[in-house]
Amino acid sequence: MNIHEYQAKDILRAAGVPIPPGEIAHTAEEAEAIATKIGGMVVVKAQVHAGGRGKAGGVKLAKTPAEAKEIASKILGMQIKGLTVYTVLVTAAADIASEAYVGIILDRATKKPVFMVSPAGGIDIEEVAASTPEKILKLPVDTRYGLQPYQASELGFFLFDDVKKVRAASKIMMALYDTFMKNGCSLAEINPLVVTPAGEVVALDAKMSIDDNELDRHPELAALRDETAEEHSEVEARNANLTFIKLDGDVGCVVNGAGLAMATMDLVKYYGGSPANFLDIGGSSNPEKVVNALKIITEDPSVKVILFNIFGGITRTDDVANGIVTATKANPLKIPIVIRLTGTNEEIAMKILTENGFTASSDMDEAVMKAVELAKGGKAA
């Protein structure tokens, strides 16, 4: 789960990272009032889960409260990378002498949190990595011992020469690592970490992603979820207890179990198609889940065919068949459906489906081939 910049800043500020004061606004008038309260120059910043807001026109300096109001009225409602801006952060502006990058990601290869720091901050770190990789220092942390002060200094010295700044940066590294570990982050990033002309080291942007599996033990973080900032179908699926990820293709897949879902997507690709989603209805036998799954998939206009691939173990395939019949009676399908069922109560399931005008097979290759062909507009074999 991603959280907004202002939420990440609140967490980092509480951990001791120097961050200019700010508040959020949902209207231009609120933005003006906050700017008045802060006094002096402010920055108005779009709160959407996307990087590169600066380049997209979602981060603007304002000299007066009136200007903050005008800028906020332009940024609110704006689209950035397909996301609508409903909230802006109005924060005290800092003068910038230099910009650095500081981030931690969970690296699955080394199974460790890895620091990445660069004195070339402000811009995309991917760009720095591609053109001048020598400007990035990577440092894996052994979680048994945590980030050691000497490592924090090493990171600080990679960014700055001046010892005072190195100390300030090291303190920020320790706080960032602590925050990353305490909150079950998969990513925590400060870009830019700036030095002001007065020599202060300050974080001007913050990004945090929380591992979804941590949310049960962190209700305070789960409460930060902003559904308006998320893919609509993914929100709906989560609320229906389905595991769903939207993809770019046109074969809508309904599968039980993550392993079978992966195998199905592989097979769709193998036969020249492209999956529209990853949807796992799980191991239970709840026809309601099938109804919800079909609803979510058919709302996506890019889906040209629906492919059911169910292996009945604990899941009873007759329950799935009943789910398909119920769902399609309530909302008749406008696109073809290909069903593959095998396992528990397979004969009963086939009977239910045939009686209701569906065809189904128990062969996975055959079903996937057929679905791919239908998605391409061809006649099914």
Indicate which residues carry an active-site annotation: 101, 189
For Mn ion, the closer of residues 205 and 346 by Cβ is: 205
Residue 22 interacts with ligand GDP (CB under 6 A)?
no
Query: Please, which of residues 95-134 interact with ligand GDP by CB under 6 A?
Result: 96, 99, 122
| Omega within 30 of 0 (cis) for the link into 21 | no
For ligand GDP, the closer of residues 209 and 309 by Cβ is: 209
For Mn ion, the closer of residues 56 and 215 by Cβ is: 56
CA–CA distance from 298 to each of 170, 233, 309, 336 (Å)? 51, 10, 16, 11
Residue 205 interacts with Mn ion (CB under 5 A)?
yes
Residue 88 interacts with ligand GDP (CB under 6 A)?
no
SS3 content of the chain, % helix, strand, coil (to 5): 40, 25, 35
CB of 91 to ligand GDP, least distance (A): 7
DSSP states of 153-178 as a string? Answer: HHHHHHH-SSHHHHHHHHHHHHHHHH
Number of CB atoms found within 10 A of residue 199's CB: 12
For Mn ion, the closer of residues 183 and 191 by Cβ is: 191
Binding track, positions 45-84, relative to ligand GDP; x by CB under 6 A? x-----xxxx----x-------------------------
Cα 84 to the center of its chain, rounded Å: 15
Number of residues that bind ligand GDP (CB under 6 A): 16
CB of 253 to ligand GDP, least distance (A): 33
CA–CA distance from 266 to each of 253, 278, 342, 364 (Å)? 12, 11, 19, 12
Helix (H) or strand (E) holding 137: strand 137-140
List residues binding ligand GDP (CB under 6 A). 43, 45, 51-54, 59, 93-94, 96, 99, 122, 191-192, 204-205
List residues binding Mn ion (CB under 5 A). 191, 205
